[in-house]
Amino acid sequence: MAKPQNEPTLPDSFELLGLRIQKIISAPTAQKRKTAVIRKTSDECPRDWKRLLEDIADTENVTLSPEKDDAIRVSWSLPANI
């Protein structure tokens, strides 16, 4: 029997990492302060973590700063025209 074509696919490890970090950055406190501290968990793929940091670093008006214990502070500002 053929599989239905519209069957949802499970997120891969990079997508799961992105969802976790998005939740941290979207938190009301982080939004108010325009900063959040993120950390790689022991079960996350180092390659995914590196890719995520590269993607974030390429985002305009976003700064990454190393913190203690391998944490990264993500800070952002809104463009003047918003």
CA distances from 77 to 58, 59, 74 (A): 14, 11, 11
pLDDT of the chain along its 82 residues, tens only? 556 677 788 899 999 999 999 999 999 999 999 999 999 999 999 999 999 999 999 999 999 999 988 999 999 998 777 5
- CA-to-CA distance for 17 and 39, rounded, in angstroms? 11
